[in-house]
Amino acid sequence: MGRELTPAVPSVHERDQALADAVGRKDRKASAEFVQEHADSVYAYVLARLRPNAVDVEDVTQEVFLAAWRCIGDYRGSSSLKAWLFGIARHKVEDYYRAKVRSSDLEEADAIAGAGLQLDSALDERRLRERSLAVLDRLPEQYRLLLKWRYWEQRETAGIAVALGRTPKAVERMLARARERFRREWEGAS
């Protein structure tokens, strides 16, 4: 009467580490599995942050995977491979925001707003979130990206200023103009 031994099932982190190691060894089958397993969730993550710039989503998603392949050897399994990819995606989205905002001349925009909306609380409820997305979609790209960077990515003004090579006061003025434009669009949509 011997006991049947069942093979141990690897943990998610062990499986992720094995997949990352195989991708690092340039195993084509592992690379295809890596992309197939994570492409949809990374694409959805990027899309939610770049909407409505859907044409740029595929490029940014591709940049995420290229960066992941370049530094897959740095993956240590302390978090899931998906979480690790989302970290890379967050940085690639920030790079995208930085490039788009820098290329736009926000200094010649509308007059500075007196007070902004409480976007954080408005975005908490689904109905308000949908309306907010619709209003954001109508804003000029530089305003849309700056507001998403500040409120969705929850970047501090000082961090945005460093990323853009501007002073915190200049970023505050840009945000004030963007919030004012958002407010006008919001009230016009009522």
Domains of the chain listed by start with CATH number: 12-103 (1.10.1740.10), 108-189 (1.20.140.160)
| pLDDT value at residue 52 | 75
Q: For 160-173, how does the pLDDT look when each residue is reduced to its tens digit (9 = 90+)?
A: 888 888 899 988 99
| Exposure b/e, 16-32, CB count within 10 A at least 16 = b | bbebbebbbeeeeebbe
Distance in angstroms (rounded) separating the CA atoms of residues 27 and 40: 21
Q: For 131-190, how does the pLDDT look when each residue is reduced to its tens digit (9 = 90+)?
A: 877 888 888 888 888 888 888 888 898 888 888 888 999 889 989 998 999 888 888 865
Q: Residue 98 contacts by C-beta under 8 Å, 6 or more apart in sequence?
A: 163, 164
Looking at residue 16, its amino acid is D
Q: What is the pTM of this model?
A: 0.55
The average pLDDT across 104-129 equals 46
The average pLDDT across 108-124 equals 38
What is the SS3 assignment for 13? helix
Q: For 8-43, how does the pLDDT look when each residue is reduced to its tens digit (9 = 90+)?
A: 556 667 888 888 888 889 889 988 888 898 889 988
Q: For 46-88, how does the pLDDT look when each residue is reduced to its tens digit (9 = 90+)?
A: 888 888 777 788 889 899 888 988 888 888 878 888 888 888 9
Reported as type and span, the H/E element at residue 81 is helix 81-103
Confidence of residue 6 (pLDDT cuts 50, 70, 90): low
Nearest to residue 112, comparing CAs of 168, 69, 174?
Answer: 174
Peptide bond before residue 52 is cis, with ω within 30 degrees of 0:
yes
